[in-house]
């Protein structure tokens, strides 16, 4: 078992597991997250192949007040250091396939983002933290998933 997989299993408190989606750990979502899918990965650690793109999808229902915007904030934690993940559109409203901004209360939202895994990335274990932040900088959706860049 890799260190990241062991850490993930140890954290195990609030796991989200939906059929044909990826098992991830919720990290403070203020909405009802129905599922998260990282292309090609159901059970972490997810293998992220350098030079290829992945698709990250988040299915959630906004139970909060209306938010004018959604901002995507993605980091990779390598050895305890958070490193910004490049290539993700910060304006998450651009990646909504169901719903739109402003996101109203009780609105169903489906977010789908293409993410490049750059060839220049090192082959390393990483914990990916993905946040969709409201205009008030609160986590509409937040998850952690162990991955291995190969």
Calpha distance 126→116 (Å, rounded): 15
Calpha distance 45→6 (Å, rounded): 10
6 phi, psi to nearest 5 deg = -65, -40
Which domains are seen in the chain, by residue range? 3-145 (2.60.40.770)
Calpha distance 52→19 (Å, rounded): 25
**Residue 124: other Cβ atoms inside 10 A:** 13
Task: Read off the DSSP letter of residue 90.
Answer: S
Residues in the chain, how many? 150
90 CB contacts (<8 Å, ≥6 apart)?
71, 72, 73
In tens digits, the chain (150 residues) has pLDDT values of 444 444 444 333 334 443 468 999 999 999 999 999 999 999 999 999 999 999 999 999 988 789 999 999 999 999 999 999 989 999 999 999 999 999 998 999 999 999 999 999 999 999 999 999 999 999 999 999 999 999
- What pLDDT score does 20 carry? 62
Question: Do 66 and 25 form a contact (C-beta atoms < 8 A)?
Answer: no
Calpha distance 81→50 (Å, rounded): 20
Nearest to residue 55, comparing CAs of 44, 35, 40?
Answer: 40
């Amino acid at each position: 078992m890799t260190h990241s997989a062991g850490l993930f299993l140890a954290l195990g408190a609030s796991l989200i597991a939906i059929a044909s989606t990826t098992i991830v750990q919720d990290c403070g979502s203020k909405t009802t997250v129905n599922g998260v899918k990282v292309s090609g990965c159901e059970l972490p650690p997810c293998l992220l192949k350098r030079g290829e793109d992945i698709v990250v999808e988040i299915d959630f229902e906004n139970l909060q007040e209306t938010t004018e915007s959604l901002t995507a904030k993605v980091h990779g934690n390598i050895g305890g250091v958070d490193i910004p993940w490049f290539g993700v559109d910060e304006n998450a409203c651009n990646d909504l396939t169901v719903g739109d901004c402003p996101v109203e209360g009780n609105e169903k939202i489906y977010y789908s983002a293409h993410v490049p895994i750059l060839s220049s990335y090192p082959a390393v274990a990483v914990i990916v933290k993905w946040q969709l932040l409201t205009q008030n900088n609160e986590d509409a959706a937040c998850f952690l998933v162990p991955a291995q860049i190969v």
